[in-house]
Amino acid sequence: MKVTSIAIVGIILVAAGVFAAVGPWTVVPVCEAGNPPLYTQTITGKNLSMPCGYTARAEIGVGSLIVMGGLGLMMARTPGTRRGLGYMGLGLGALALLLPTSLIGVCSNATHNCVLSTRPSLVILGGVVMLSSAYVLLKAR
């Protein structure tokens, strides 16, 4: 089996998708997954997730779709299919980048782990997905 540059991009997308889905809970944890876990507490004493927890939950879905796109890209044979998956990757990369920055966001406290590690890693990850997908679009002509 011949390994093409498109298949290598597919492998990169699979790895990026796995990191987007699992990273905010393990490698670069959000406040809710930290040790000790941090929550916002209401007046009645109920613990609520901080915005970074919701971002991490949304990244599970986005990361899963990036993984499926990468797997599809490794199996795609026609330029039209590759182009479609490239456009999908651009959109998902933008979504992965925008979730922690402006759509949902992370905590407002500058010393929280989600601000120091989770947000920058997801921004870089979104950029990698977008650049990889742009490469696919250029090669799938």
pLDDT exceeds 60 at position 1: no
The residue-averaged pLDDT of 1-21 equals 90
Instruction: Please give the average per-residue pLDDT across 59-75, as a whole number.
Output: 96
Kindly tell me the sign of the dihedral angle through the C-alpha atoms of 117, 19, 32, 107: positive
Q: Which pLDDT belongs to residue 81?
A: 94
- Distance of alpha carbon 92 from alpha carbon 138, whole angstroms: 18
The band of 59, judged by pLDDT with boundaries at 50, 70 and 90, is very high
The pTM score is 0.91
User: What does pLDDT average to over the chain?
Assistant: 92
- Nearest by Cα to 94 from 54, 129, 138, 53: 129
Question: Looking at residue 2, what is its pLDDT?
Answer: 64
Q: Among 38-42, 101-105, 121-125, whose mean pLDDT is lowest?
A: 38-42
